[in-house]
Amino acid sequence: MLNNLKAELSRKALTAKDIAALLDKRVATIYDKMNGHYSFSFEEALLIRDRFFPEFTLEYLFKKENQIARKEVI
């Protein structure tokens, strides 16, 4: 799940419908991607970030909930 993307959409009063219009995709497809069933392509992620969230990094917006920060063991 892309919790950061969902949170930022909410903060800006944007919806999956806004992303769907930008990417020319079905709203259901966008929900599937935001819920982790499929991934956004790199080009899609860039478009979303550049249009709606230029203040954030791709890493932040598209970090999956189940990604765990790895610590280097010395």
Residue 18 belongs to a domain with what CATH number?
1.10.260
Whole-number Cα distances in Å, 62 to 36, 42, 73, 74: 10, 10, 26, 29
Is there a domain that residue 46 lies in? yes
Write down the pTM of the prediction.
0.84
Domain count, the chain: 1
pLDDT digits (tens, 9 = 90+) for 22-74: 999 999 999 999 998 999 999 999 999 999 999 999 999 999 876 555 555 55
* H helix intervals, 1-74: 3-11, 16-23, 27-34, 42-52, 58-61
Instruction: Kindly state whether residue 74 falls inside one of the protein's structural domains.
Output: no
Q: Both ends of the chain: CA-CA distance in Å?
A: 31
* pLDDT at 20 > cutoff 60: yes
